[in-house]
Amino acid sequence: MATDDSSQTPSPDKQLTLRSATPSDSSPSKPFPEAAPETFSTPEWNDAKDAVDWFVHVRKVIKSVIYRYCSNLQAILRIFEENNAVYYTHYTALQDFLHTIWAKWVKFGETKTITTSFLLSSIISEDLLQPLPWIRTPRQAGQRHAERMGALRDSIRLIAIEMTTSYSLVQDTAVRLAELNSGHEVTPFPSLPTTETETDNSNTSDIEKYTPSETTTESDDEVDLTLKDPALLEENGFDPIWEEGEYPGEIPDDIEENLDSDPKTTCAQMIGSNKSIFWLFGYDELVDVIEDPGYTLEHEIVKIPHGTSAPGFLLEHYYWEGKLTTDIVERYLAGRFEARAPTIRAMALVIPSQVTDAPTNHQLRSLYPFCRVNTFPDTILAVSVKFNKRDDITMGAVRKALGDTLDIDNDKLWFRGLSLQAFELSLVFFIPVITTTNRDNEFGPGLYVADSCEEVLPYAKNGAIMVFKDPNFQRLKI
């Protein structure tokens, strides 16, 4: 099944070369400005000054813990990424946990009315030891990464102990409040530990930046790819992004047109400006390139599917479209990207004219003479469908085109979305994973598919979807 978006024709003859690296002054996440004491409300303590001061201090302590904790999680994720292990279940679990922790911290930092019930159910009560079983070195990683992962595990455990101590102090405060309300004379607040910010006289307690030299070859062109806080997009001149069903404010038309009629059913982890996404993940030079009319890479609204790294997905997508050169992609993906054979540039890379909007059986050799038919059936069913930004519209067109020929909702099917280049390479040499690094996969060599056609649509823009029906790889011949 081929998808076509004739409004966006790639220009493979145009190549992009970046200027030399410009140091970025962006931190991974700017700190919340310290709230003036009078902005806090502590109704259970009658807004007493000592209560306000104590909670300002609590906030500083928790901030120090969370920023260091998130920095460590980012470093752990980087080890997975550098070892081509982003499909590990542990990687996904760690990524989700990082996002959850950060969202709870943002809520904590924005809350101005402080009560014991809020504190006892806030991020302070979070079990920061939960991800320990997931912090495991990928099998193919070297000894240096294994040692680094062990050190990060130790750091996570120590930081979690700090949070547990803080939570016990908050519990103690709640007990003391109950005693005060019963008429006992007790000191209302226990002593709090000092924060790193106070001991080193720093003006901020930003998340510690991940040092590229710890995991990559030393170079003057090293870049900081630390994740920033999405809440900082607008104040830095970037458009907000839609992420997992959430958007800050009214959704603009250019994002809404990418959502299903029921936004909750939209199969995407992120939708928004490519500039915003690149900036969010630290790809500052690519932001400059998009803004420069001298380059072929332009601003657009993009949809990031599930199961992939947002910037990595865009880099590979733009590489296939001929808008990024190999050296640029390799520089940012730090060894996780393998250049494709230059012979692919000689391929036609078009949807065969025999494939129309009517589902028809074709001899595979008649469509792609260079394919290896010993790994595919001689005859395949093919149909061409117009791609739409809204997945539900595209899926409606697919169902209408197929009619009774193939029930994509109820039949036992697997779907694999590919660019035209990757699709044609699969036909030339089809094995369960078309990569020389299949040893890096968590469960050994495999075929990355989904049981939902809608899930793979973003991977197949201007490309093709391979549909496997009742596949039995035990009899697969290579």
Quick: pLDDT tens for 276-332.
999 988 888 888 888 887 778 889 999 888 777 788 888 888 887 778 877 777 777
330 and 389 in a single domain? The answer is no
Last-in-domain residue among 143, 166, 182? 182
pLDDT per position as a tens digit, 244-280: 788 888 899 999 888 887 777 778 888 999 999 999 8
Same domain? 393 vs 291: no
Quote the pLDDT of residue 336. 47
Q: Residue 284 sits in which domain range?
A: 230-340
Tell which of 340, 374, 400 closes a domain: 340
Q: DSSP string of 161-220?
A: HHHHHHHHHHHHHHHHHHHHHTT----SS---PPPHHHHTT-S--PPPPP-GGGTS---T
Confidence (pLDDT) at 349: 63
Residue 61 maps to a domain:
yes
State the amino acid at position 108 in one-letter form: F
Report the pLDDT value the prediction gives residue 431, as an integer from 0 to 100.
55
| Whole-prediction pTM | 0.45
Is residue 323 a part of any domain in this protein?
Answer: yes
Which sign, positive or negative, has the C-alpha torsion 445, 451, 453, 457? negative
pLDDT for the residue numbered 352: 84
Distance CA 356, CA 43 (A): 69
Is 29 inside a domain boundary? no
**Residue 207 corresponds to which tokens in the numbers above?**
């998340």
Q: Are residues 63 and 120 in the same domain?
A: yes
173 and 56 in a common domain: yes
pLDDT over 50 at 444, yes or no: no
Whether 58 contacts 170, CB under 8 Å: yes
Residue 171 sits in the same domain as residue 277:
no
**What per-residue confidence (pLDDT) applies to 202?**
31
Most confident of 68-77, 285-294, 455-464: 68-77
pLDDT at 375: 64
Q: Are residues 53 and 166 in the same domain?
A: yes
368 lies in a domain? yes
Residue-level pLDDT at 276: 93
The pLDDT score that the predictor gives to residue 473 is 60
334 and 365, same domain (yes or no): no
Question: What are the backbone dihedrals phi and psi of residue 186, each rounded to the nearest 5 degrees, phi first?
Answer: -135, 155
**Which pLDDT does position 3 carry in this prediction?**
59
Burial of 323 (0-12, 13-18, 19+ CB in 10 A): buried
Q: What is the pLDDT of residues 290-300, one digit of tens each?
A: 888 777 888 99
Q: What is the pLDDT of residues 415-426, one digit of tens each?
A: 888 888 778 777
Domain-located, residue 303: yes
Task: State the pLDDT at residue 475.
Answer: 58
pLDDT value of position 26: 33
Residue 383 falls inside a structural domain: yes
Q: Per-residue DSSP letters for 364-401?
A: HHHH-TTS-GGGS-SEEEE-EEE--SSHHHHHHHHHHH
Asked whether the predicted pLDDT for residue 223 surpasses 50, the reply is: no
Question: Do residues 82 and 147 both lie within one domain?
Answer: yes
In a domain, 283, yes or no: yes
Same domain, 336 and 366: no
From the list 250, 256, 237, 478, the residue with the least C-alpha distance to 376 is 478
Q: With bands split at pLDDT 50, 70 and 90, how would you rate the model's confidence at 430?
A: low
Average pLDDT for 57-72 = 90
**Average pLDDT score over residue span 170-175:** 88
- The arithmetic mean of pLDDT across residues 25-36, rounded, is 37
3-class DSSP assignment, residue 51: helix
Task: Say if 98 falls within a structural domain.
Answer: yes
| Percent of the chain clearing pLDDT 70 (strictly above) | 74
222 pLDDT more than 50? no
State the average pLDDT over residues 155-167: 91
Same domain, 73 and 148: yes
Task: Tell me: do 236 and 142 sit in the same domain.
Answer: no
Per the model's pLDDT, the better-predicted residue between 340 and 186 turns out to be 186
Tally of domains in the chain:
3
**Residue-wise pLDDT tens digits, 340-353:** 444 444 455 678 88
Is residue 19 scored above 50 in pLDDT?
Answer: no
pLDDT at 339: 47
Where a domain ends, among 148, 182, 216?
Answer: 182
369-380: pLDDT as tens digits? 777 666 677 888
pLDDT at site 436: 43
165: Cβ contacts below 8 Å, ≥ 6 apart: 193
Mean per-residue pLDDT of the chain? 75
The listed range with the strongest mean pLDDT (170-184, 254-268, 428-442) is: 170-184
Task: Say if residue 335 is in the same domain as residue 364.
Answer: no
